[in-house]
Homo-oligomer: A and B are copies of this chain.
Amino acid sequence: MSIQEKFSRLGTDHAPGQEVRQQSSSVEAMLRGDPIPGRPVDFSHGDVDAFEPTPGSFEVFSAGVTAGGRQAYTEYRGDIGIREQVAGHLAVFTGAPVDAADGLIITPGTQGALFLSIACTVARGDKIAIMQPDYFANRKLAEFFEGEIVPVRLDYANAQGRAGIDLDQLEAAFKAGAKVFLFSNPNNPAGVVYSPDEIAAIAALAGRYGATVIVDELYSRLLYSGVAYAHLRAGKVDPENVITIMGPSKTESLSGYRLGVAFGSKAIIARMEKLQAIVSLRAGGYSQAVLRTWFNEPEGWMDERIRLHQAIRDDLLKVLRATDGVAARTPEAGSYLFPSLPKLAISHTDFVRVLRLQAGVTVTPGSEFGPHSGNSLRFNFSQDHAAAVKAVERLVTLIDRYRA
């Protein structure tokens, strides 16, 4: 494959955060009516001004700068003292041991962890099972390394009490030779959590076919009331066949420090460090210090954060569900809402641009996440509560204006 072909498949034009690079001229011809005034809301990512970084994070960073060279130049996999502290917390949180010396790597964001873990498990032509819908970069990563994607459907809209994975399709993927299965739990974009039964079934299938499972658990701390969460690594699996990815960029609003971790299989972590050495050397040295605040937040802080997100979620769902033709499952964790829209007179991709131009509302089109979710929009509702409600009201006004 030539470089040109390889990169033509790696589009970022509709990726969250890149809207500023779009040309608006092509959309202007299809506009109906006037702009709707209101405070702009960028639902493509969480608003770290509305939900601020973990208390004490900046102070810990400052202490890292003061520590100087020791903190600036760590092992490529990260400072051992910080790895030890984080490993302890993650073992408790996930319910299975974490080896600080050989079983954990600190990466520049969870994106860094995802990139390295796919690079270290998928060679050219290897089959990799990926959920549809799922985080948009999963597909791009598999394509970049010339893996062959075997899609597995997530029937998030209709499943009850479970995420909705098609386990027959997953088994068929393993039977067809997929040696890696990558999924996010809670699912990004749908906000659904895999039930303990689903996780047990995934573990059993992976075991039967000797597959490696990479679980992106980025949002697993932001769990709404009454939801049970099962960590795959705590189940009946070969620990050398599981990589779990987490980080403090979302719930903890520490994205500006670019921190993530991958932990589990020592063989894969060893490869990931070798690769990190030529990709970015290490997660920013001073930033690594910020992980000292992780799972170490002030008493009650996380509960309050969850409560506030649940309140926004519920208010947005009320507005959306009052709208003819809009359907939305209640998110069980994380801060993504993924409603489906009715048929419109313009494409849903164009509608996303119109929404930004006429209502100051930025969302991510469902087509970024898989081929079956093009009529949905993803909202990261980690926003100012009142502004988010007003923004979704403007969205509803535009849905009515552009109905087919």
Contacts and interface: CB of A to CB of B under 8 A. Distances in A.
Interface of A: 1-3, 6-7, 10-12, 15, 17-18, 20-21, 45, 47-49, 52-53, 58, 61-62, 64-65, 68-69, 71-76, 80, 107-109, 111-112, 114-115, 120-124, 126, 137, 140-141, 144, 255-258, 271, 273-275, 277-287
A65 B58 contact: yes
A120 B7 contact: yes
A61 B65 CA distance: 11
A9 to B, nearest CB: 9
Contact of A285 (B47, B114, B255): B255
A180 to B, nearest CB: 10
Given A12-B277, A281-B111, A17 B75 contact: yes
B72 A255 contact: yes
A285 B273 contact: no
A284 B40 CA distance: 24
A71 B58 CA distance: 14
A12 B121 CA distance: 19
Contacts of A64: 256
B17 A256 contact: no
A379 to B, nearest CB: 16
A283 B257 CA distance: 9
A277 B18 CA distance: 10
Contacts of A20: 75, 80
Contacts of A6: 123
Given A10-B274, A15-B277, A53-B65, 16 more contacts: A1-B123, A3-B121, A7-B274, A10-B277, A10-B278, A12-B274, A49-B68, A58-B62, A71-B256, A108-B280, A109-B280, A109-B281, A124-B124, A256-B284, A258-B284, A258-B287
A279 B144 CA distance: 11
A80 B258 CA distance: 19
A280 to B, nearest CB: 4
B112 A279 contact: yes
Contact of A76 (B18, B255, B279): B18
- Rank and list the top 10 A-B pairs by shortest CB-CB distance, nearest first: A72-B256, A256-B285, A258-B284, A49-B68, A10-B274, A108-B280, A256-B286, A48-B69, A7-B271, A111-B281
Contacts of A112: 279-280
Contact of A258 (B3, B45, B285): B285
A12 B273 contact: yes
Q: Give the most central of A15, A122, A274: most B CB within 10 Å.
A: A274
Residue with the greatest number of chain B CB neighbours at <10 A, chosen from A20, A114, A275: A275
Given A68-B49, A72-B256, A280 B278 contact: no
Contacts of A278: 10, 111, 114-115, 137, 140-141, 144
Contacts of A107: 280
A68 B257 CA distance: 11
Contact of A137 (B109, B124, B277): B277
